[in-house]
Amino acid sequence: MMVLIIPIAVSVHTVVSWIFGMTLRIGWNSTVFGIYFVAGAIFSGTATLIIVMAILRRVFRLGAYIPDRQFVNLGYLLAALSVVMLYFNLSEYVTAGYKLEEGEAALLGSILVGAFAPWYWFYVLGGLVLPALLMLAPWTRTFWGVLAGAVLADVAMWVERYIIVVSTLRTPQMPYTDLAGYVPTWVELAITAGAFALFALLIALFAKLVPIVSIWEVREHEAEAGAEPRPGAREAVPRVPRPAVGLGIVVLAALLAALLPGAASAGGRHENAPRARSCRRHLEPGVVQRGVAVGNSSS
């Protein structure tokens, strides 16, 4: 399965980056977006894996099967990927700042010292530098330190995507000083909440149907260590709490109920308009003929 997932993930994120990189727009016209997006996906994916592991270990009481050492090892990987992301950010903005093509000055100014500066420096310092520093200090190289770094990394990567899209689209392509702002609508917020709810629902269903811990690997490690197998280890399959599944289903149903009626009504209006016109075309000759018939009969 891993042999298929890795090339699929790389190709998907590369194609998404090409959608941005192949447009002649300031901020997106870059040749490093492919590897930049792939590295960002691996970075945020590692952080999400740490968060999901922590939740499942807490809910199903799997501390004996998922020790703190595994989180520390993933923290090392997260710190290494944060350094890679720092390198890509430095390469992108130093190259753009050195050339300083027309329009780049306005974009870099808005990101580094302008309206998007708080977001950008939170992304760099809080989402890239701080997770690496948490892994350098021995007293923060713990389960809670790794989990805090993972949460910061996930939030920072969302902020980074926000900066890529909104700051670039906000930069004018013509001499224009009245820049517009951006505030997400309730539809965008609902779609975002529905995406999180759908992801949580899929994870909950997966934990319900598939064993979270590989039983044969646990038995193999116990045999190598010379420990006695835990009684009932093969039969004990963790079950997901029903409130989590119910909450995910309710949120997803509310999202569909909010979006589908509007689309259905819009589609109904578009479908009924040609049908009404065709009905008028078929009825008008009949009305005329009846009028002629009535006129002839009266005469």
H/E/C letters for each residue in the chain?
CHHHHHHHHHHHHHHHHHHHHCCCCCCCCCCCHHHHHHHHHHHHHHHHHHHHHHHHHHHHCCCCCCCHHHHHHHHHHHHHHHHHHHHHHHHHHHHHHHHCCCCHHHHHHHHHCCCCHHHHHHHHHHHHHHHHHHHHCHHHCCHHHHHHHHHHHHHHHHHHHHHHHHHHHHCCCCCCCCCCCCCCCHHHHHHHHHHHHHHHHHHHHHHHHCCCCCHHHHHHHHHHHCCCCCCCCCCCCCCCCHHHHHHHHHHHHHHHHHHHHHHHHHHHHHHHHHHHHHHHHHHHHHHHHHHHHHHHHHC
Percent of the chain clearing pLDDT 70 (strictly above) = 72
Arithmetic mean of pLDDT over the chain = 77
Report pLDDT for 243: 55
Higher pLDDT, 53 or 247: 53
Residue range 64-116, pLDDT digits in tens: 888 899 899 999 999 999 999 999 988 888 888 887 777 788 888 889 998 89
Higher pLDDT, 194 or 237: 194
Spans of all domains in the chain: 1-174, 183-215+235-290
Residue range 171-215, pLDDT digits in tens: 777 666 666 778 889 999 999 999 999 988 998 898 888 888 877
Report pLDDT for 293: 40
Average pLDDT over residues 230-255: 52
The enclosing H or E element of 206 equals helix 186-209
Lowest mean pLDDT among 33-37, 71-75, 226-230: 226-230
3-state secondary structure of 16: helix
Whether pTM exceeds 0.85: no
Over 60: is that where the pLDDT of 169 sits? Answer: yes
Report pLDDT for 124: 94
pLDDT level of residue 6 (50, 70, 90 thresholds) = confident
Higher pLDDT, 235 or 129: 129
Report pLDDT for 248: 55
Average pLDDT over residues 277-298: 43
pLDDT level of residue 250 (50, 70, 90 thresholds) = low
Report pLDDT for 252: 58
Higher pLDDT, 212 or 127: 127
Residue range 148-161, pLDDT digits in tens: 999 999 999 999 99
